[in-house]
Structure formats: C-alpha cells, structure tokens
Chains A and B, each alone.
Chain A
Amino acid sequence: MGKLGPEAETPVLTGAKIVAAVKRAGVSHVLSVPDLHTAKGLLTPIRSDPALTLIRTCKEDETLGIAAGLNYGDKRALILIQYTGFLYSMNAIRAMACEHKLPICMMIGLLGKEPEVAPQDSAKFGVRILEPILDVLGIKRLLIDSDEDVDGISTAIEHAYTSSEPVAFLIARKPI
C-alpha cells in the first residue's frame, strides 16, 4: 500500500457493509470487547441489528472459549476485538484456532494505524507485528481497508467454517 496522490479520493470503509457481509456468511453471534477503532462504525450497528446477538465479554480470551462452545453447538460466531486484545488472547488462539483447528473468525481493529500506511510499516509496534504473528500461527488474514475489500469477508467466513480453520480480518481503517 503506497501513498496516494493528492488528487486521489480517500477510501471509505462502511460498517453497515461489513455487517451485511458477516450476516450473509450465516454468523448469528458477535463476541466483543469494545475497541475505539470499531466502536462507532461497526459495534454500534451490530448491537442494534436484530439478526445478530451481541455477547459482551470482560476480556478478549473469553471470546475464544465462547466461540468454541457455540461452534460445537452449531452456531457461527464473529469475534470483534482490538489488536491489543488479540495479543492478550494468544494462548487461547493457539489452542482453539490453531491446535484444535476450529473456525474461529476474528475481526481485529488496528487502532492507531496510520491512513495509507501498510500495517507492517506502521510506527505503532503492536500494529507492525500483527501480520507476522498471524503468519507464524498459520492463520489466514485479509486486510479490510475499504469497501472494495468487504466482498471477501463472506467468502472467507464460509471457507473457515467449511474447512474448519481460523481466519483474521484486519480492520485497517476506522469504519464509518
């Protein structure tokens, strides 16, 4: 991702489009600790959507345990957390997503990532290390930086469930 020219339009990421994509993939439950990056544009529409049940947790690793239980009970879940919560939950991710190969679908807000800068080039250490960590874990990732990227969400969630493997969506831009 390079710098845009001054004449280029600023890309937009629309929370409602993400919510629609998640629902198209059959997700019924969203497990979340609020993240400033996605709180307004994503969590707010989710909490008012009657087709989604929002389960608020106190810490992010709880979401992994709950998602696993929902999966064994044949329900689809999306985990919505900040990258700091992802880092906090590493052992639960290691166990449930990687070793037990459950279809853990994580939407991770990259709070503080600079616009038009790739995560690996961010000045924020926590943002910069995220993609290499996912690669080491063997977790597929999609960078969601504009509405153009949203179309891939449904397909990726569907694939996660049919192949029983985790997936991470990195929310690079604050959804509106």
Chain B
Amino acid sequence: MAEHLLALRAAVMRRERVSHSTLHFFAYAFIALCLVFAAIAMATGDVFFFRLATEALIFGGLALAVDILLGYTGLLSLGQALFFGYGAYVSGLVLKEIEPSFWTAMGIVLVTATAFGAIAGIIAIRARGVYFALITFGLAQVVSKIVFNTRELGASDGIIGIPVIKTDFLLFQVDTGHAPSFFLLVLSIIVGLYFLVAYVMGTPFGRTLVAIRANESRVPFLGFHPWRYKLAAFILAANVAALSGALYPMLRGFVSPELMFFQVSGNAVIMVIIGGVGTLIGPLYGAAILTGLKSVIGTFTEHHLIVIGMLFVLSVIFFPKGLVGHARPRIERILAARGRES
C-alpha cells in the first residue's frame, strides 16, 4: 500500500484514539471525584449530602438521555422528564405493589419504557426543529396532568411509602436505605449507562445519528432511512431516562407528578448545556453542578432560581460549549502530545 495512505490511516487512528481517550478521561475523572466525595462523606458520617449526590447522579442520567437526542441526533426534547417520571412511577408501583425487588423493577421499566418510547417517538419524530420540541413538551404536559388527576396513582400526592429494598449482587448486598452503598450502586448504573451510550455513538448507528444532525437531507442518499434511526435514538433516550427515573423512588421512598413537570425537563436541558452538548459525560458534570448550586445557594436565599438563572446566562455567554466542551481541546492537546512522545 502507498506510503501516504498508511500515514493517513495512522493519522486517523491516532485522532480517534485521542478523542476517545479524552472523553473517557472526563469519565474517569468524574468517577474519581465521586469516589473522593464518597470517602469524605463516609468519614464524616454524612447522610444529607450522600442523598443529594445520589439525586444529582439520577438527574444526570436524565441529562444523558437529553444529550443523546440533542447532541447526537439534533433533536431538542423539552419533555424528557416524561420518561424519567414514567420510570419512577413504574418502579415505585412495582416495588410497593408487586415485589420489592430491584431487578424486577428495572426489568419491567426497561421493557415497558421501550414500548412507551416507541409510541411517543412515532408521534414526536414526525416533526422537526421547534415542532419536535413543542410535541415533546406537549406530550409531557398531557401525561403529567393526567397523572396529577388520577386518584389511583395518588393524584397530586404521588405514591408514598415505597419500601426500602435490599438487593443481592454476586458478592455483596446493597440496601437502598444505606446512603453510601446506594450512592455507589447509582454511580455504577449511571456510569454504566454512560459507557453503553458512548459505545453506541461510536458505531455506524451512532455515526448515522451524527449525520442526521449535520444534514438529514443527505442521509437517505447514503442508504439509510433517517426515520428508523431517529426512532431508535428516541427509544434509547426514553430508556436511559426511564431507567434513571426508576432509581428515584429507591432513593426518596416516594414519587410525585412533579417529576414529569417541565421544571425537570428544562433543568435536564440546562445540565446538558452547562456540561457540554454532544459530549455525553458533560451532562453528568452539569447535573452535579446544577444540583450542587441549587442546594448551596438555596441555603442562603429562597430566590435561588434568580441566581441560577443568571449563572446559566453567564455560562452560556462565556462557555458556550459547556464545561467539557471547553476543556476538551486542552486535554486533547495534552493527550496527543503524550501519544507522540511514547
């Protein structure tokens, strides 16, 4: 083979390795930060911050789902909390009424969220751009109002009294009532979802989603049916949101219709933008930042939303690519330089 082609192949592989390891660098750093936090919180015997950090991770899963649609497929979902709340309700009902089992709850959520995501997706992906955003917003509003008014689902109170569960994993047991171990369980699940989604985005399927975001009109002329890919992305995002939501009642012991409200969907979009659109790991950072800020600022003033709103505006102006998007080229340069040395 010609020398310049070998050089090209090597250059392509080097670039892909660097961009791959850069994103995973942020993932490992995130895990490390979580573990450091866990060690400190455990040493001080804290429960409140453990619960708060667990909640941040759970909402990070929702933000990850938003990024699949926004960052890769180019679809802005303003109603992703619909699936998050759906997962939370199904999980809560299963734990309370059917069987207090982690695996049963997650399994039922996975299967039914796929069906629910497919139905909602067929409705939503008919539209593009702002119309897609409005349809997802509308679907979430309709369903949340129905839940809010359904007495069998606890109406405005939601479902309370969801039992603490104990789950056996091969070597150890996790008790959802034990803050540190449940935190570590949620961390493994959310990070596991991240790695799964990151893998999928590196496959021809994921690249086709990127092509749809970049220029949907050309995609059919490359042999791919955009509708199928968008629907599959929608179902994937519904599942990621629902599985994250399914962890919520295990943490808090209740679910409420507010979980499906626009506030939750909107926060998820903010988390994605703060952390970095199209980075997948950025949304987890964004969730940690937003949840942390809300809690910290909330202790000083009840008008914390004003402060957060202003911080959001400033971060969009000065860091339009978000935290990870902003730091990525710097880390990439470091990793590329190190790759050349070795």
Q: Are A and B interaction partners?
A: no
Residues of chain B touching chain A, judged by Cβ–Cβ distance below 8 Å, are none
